[in-house]
Amino acid sequence: MIKGKFIDNLPKVYGIYTGGFIGFIILMAIGEQMGMTAKAIGVAFVAFTIFIYALIGYLSRTAQADAYYVAGRQVPTVFNGMATAADWMSGASFVAMAGGIYFKGYGYMALLVGWTGGYILVATLLAPYLRKFGCYTVPDFIGTRYGGNLARLCAVIVLTVASFTYVTAQINATGTIAAVALDIDFGYAVYIGLISILLCSMLGGMRAVTWTQVAQYIVLIIAYLLPIFWISNKMGAGFFPHFMLADEVARIGELEQQFGFVKNSAADLATVPKGLAGITKAHSAVNATPWAFISLALAMMMGTASLPHVMMRYFTTPSVKAARKSVGWSLFFIFLLYSSAPMLATLSKLSLIDPTLPTGIIGKSFAEVQSIDWFQNWNQANLMFISDFNGNGTLELNEFFMGGKAVVLATPEIAGLPYVISGLVAAGGMAAAMSTADGLILAIANAISHDVYYKMIDPKAETAKRLLVARVLLVVIGFAGATIAAMEIQGILGSVIWAFDFAMSGLFFPLVLGVWWKRANREGAIAGMVLGLGSAIWYLVWVRTGGSGFLGLTQLTFGIFGAGVSFVAMVVVSLITSAPDAATQKMVDEVRIPSGRTVTGK
Amino acid sequence: MSNAQKHWEKSRSLLWITLAIWAVFSMGIFLFGAEMNEVTGPFGYPWTYWFTCQGSLGIFVILIFWFANRQEKIDEEFGFNERGDD
């Protein structure tokens, strides 16, 4: 009843929602003028947005398998693009990316290229074909294309390893932000984050996740862009920063020359709190070898095309051609944020290091810097640190340390923006982390409930029972993720990159060759998945335990090795075993034709 | 050759063209990253820096829409277009 009307009214519904959110920001700004405390504003932002997401999640509840698994396959292209962008841009993109660019410069920007270029592979090699196939989950495609429970199970295992690595990082990020915004202990904040995530997805599965992700995208993009434009205008750097920061980029280069990159001694560095870093790399100069840059970009691109939580978003479009266009829209919405991250890094760095700007701290005396309000705040939050290594009393470039997250979280405050902006940024970071976590947990729970429970254990199970299993799994996986996140084993960005490497090692070639090479058969696919993931894990452990690695592949790019092994294993094993039967070959032919019913007949 | 085979042949050549453009702007140009960065490019940014922040990313967006349109034309040509719109 609501469904048909709701789909037709989407632009109106989300238009009103966006207007309402802007109204809320203005209300908070007025509140701040009237004496609302910073803490109250932070709590209001996070609580209000989570309440809205939970409400959308409740309104999208469903008891139908089609709606639960693929949102009824009726999500329009542009909205699916927004949902994918939110699904895609995680806490890492939102909170950590600008910081990575700030500290590492060019070498890190391979991630920008990699995390966007991968969508070309998604659009050309996979998304339209998997949409035509008509499966519910990614392992569903593997299981049906290659046949047999073993292939299906292998795909579920690769999916779970990759997505679970990724999701712990996201729950960790929600916990970090909730802990700061609500001023509570991280150990509790992680579970508050988890409950918010589950509220969005539990009742309505993919349908609920789709509509909350659209809402979350709107919040996160406003929260990311508004401060950048504001800071740029306030600094007089230009009203449209993306096209106008060339002078600022050049100025940073000049200052770097002037200050020089002084190397700190190991003993000095040992006094710097863990997780903080100084500026040691040039901002815009090329400081990585071509292969280091290209291999990181390539690993991220192939990983993008293998991550099931992204792929399954394209199962929800009404048609094959809508799936293709939707990939374009996804990338457009991602582009809006990614092309802004370097601008934020530039503005943030210049405002801190340029002695001619009122916010610049390099060259000031230690006593002066220590008396600045924002420095005290972020020093207390363990995200900023200064130490007079050379004892001359003035702050040098090599004596200032900052956490990567501070670039996004602290820059508004440094630039002197009102606190309402910091509250908005917290809500945006929360939205980014929650939307990705939702997509990931749903991908795992759906794969286990649909592929393992329904297809292997109890094929006669009724819909109600299947959906109950799916929901129970959602909660169990969420809690498992939160428990591991609470242990804080690996940093946010590190786990995200590992997830890409795992996914591409096990799934890239079995998926791509499943469509593009008719001769690929079950034995080949199983070999590809098992040996691909196995060799990737072996290589990671080897490099982590002091191994030298080869071909310059590091613990960030080991997926290239895994995927290479997977490809060779899959081709060789397929060729020495018998070709797939006629029915399978016919199925592949059908997948390649966009019109007509889906291959699975759903 | 059947209709479906011809359709697939054309789709495949579109794939190769798209992937070639993709490879140039995601990997190829960065082989010359250091040299390119010496030259001033759009909006006054150094070329390599501009490609990593905006250029390559923007080209990818356009490339996907271009690919989607071309593929739709191919589908129509062979009568495989889907009914209904998006």
Q: Is the pLDDT confidence value at A387 over 60?
A: yes
Cβ of A120 within 8 Å of Cβ of B57? The answer is no
Lowest average pLDDT, out of A268-272, A289-293, A499-503, goes to A268-272
Using CA coordinates, name the residue in chain A closest to B48: A286
Distance from C-alpha of A60 to C-alpha of A158, rounded to nearest angstrom? 30
Of A128-137, A307-316, A446-455, A515-524, the poorest mean pLDDT is in A446-455
Does residue A221 form part of some domain?
Answer: yes
Q: Across the interface, which of B19, B65, B86 has its CB nearest the CB of A124?
A: B19
Q: Which of A431-440, A479-488, A505-514, B25-34 has the lowest mean pLDDT?
A: A479-488
Whether pLDDT at A507 is above 80 = yes
Predicted confidence at residue A306, as pLDDT, reads: 93
- b (16+ CB within 10 A) / e for A523-549: bbbbbbbbbbbbbbbebbeebeeeeee
Q: Region A483-488: what's the mean pLDDT? A: 77
Residue A535 is predicted with a pLDDT of 95
Residue A602 has pLDDT above 60, yes or no: no
Show me where the domains of chain B are located. 3-77
Q: Which two tokens stand for residue A137?
A: 């989950």
Instruction: Write the ipTM.
Output: 0.94
Residue A525: give the domain boundaries: 2-59+78-247+284-346+418-478+493-591
pLDDT digits (tens, 9 = 90+) for B33-67: 888 888 888 898 999 999 999 999 999 999 999 99
Between chains, do A589 and B4 touch, taking CB under 8 Å as contact?
yes
Q: What is the pTM of this model?
A: 0.93
Question: Among A30, A18, A102, which Cα is nearest to A383's?
Answer: A102
**pLDDT at res. A330:** 95
Average pLDDT over residues A579-598: 87
DSSP SS3 for A503: helix
pLDDT of residue A246: 85
Q: Give residue A3's pLDDT band: very low, low, confident or very high (50, 70, 90).
A: low
* A424 belongs to a structural domain: yes
Which pLDDT value is given to residue B60? 96
pLDDT tens, position by position, A319-331: 899 999 999 999 9
Spatial separation of the C-alpha atoms in residues A6 and A380, rounded to whole Å: 47
**Structural tokens at position A475:** 């909660």
Residue A509 CA: distances (Å) to CA of A53, A115, A440, A526, A563? 36, 19, 21, 11, 7
Q: Give the helix ranges, DSSP H, for A396-517.
A: 406-414, 419-446, 463-487, 492-516
Residue A566 has phi, psi (to 5 degrees) of: -60, -45
> Distance between CA atoms of A145 and A108, rounded to whole angstroms?
38
Confidence of residue A365 (pLDDT cuts 50, 70, 90): confident
Percent of chain A with pLDDT over 90: 37
- Contact (CB<8Å) A112/B57: yes
Report the alpha-carbon distance of residue B22 to residue A295 in Å, rounded. 15
Identify all chain B residues contacting A121, using CB atoms and an 8 Å cutoff: 22
- Count the domains in chain A: 1
pLDDT in tens, A421-463: 988 998 999 899 889 988 998 888 888 888 888 888 888 888 8
Report CA dihedral (A395, A398, A404, A407) to the nearest 10 degrees: 40
pLDDT, position B86:
45
Q: Give 3-state DSSP helix, strand, coil % of chain B, rounded to 5.
A: 80, 0, 20
A225 confidence band (pLDDT: 50, 70, 90)? very high
Closest-CA residue of B relative to A597 is B82
Question: Has residue A427 been placed in a domain?
Answer: yes
**pLDDT band of A464, cuts 50, 70, 90:** confident
Put simply, the answer to whether A113 touches B57 (Cβ < 8 Å) is yes
Q: How far apart are CA B66 and CA A54, in angstroms?
A: 38
Residue A310 lies in a domain: yes
Identify the CATH number of the domain in which residue A567 sits: 1.20.1730.10
pLDDT over 60 (residue A345): yes
Would the pLDDT of A600 be above 90? no
Percent of chain B with pLDDT over 70: 94
- The residue of A289, A300, A593 whose CB has the most chain B CBs within 10 angstroms, and thus the best one to mutate to test that interface, is A593
Question: B12 falls in which pLDDT band (50, 70, 90)?
Answer: very high
Could you tell me if residue A598 is inside a domain? Answer: no
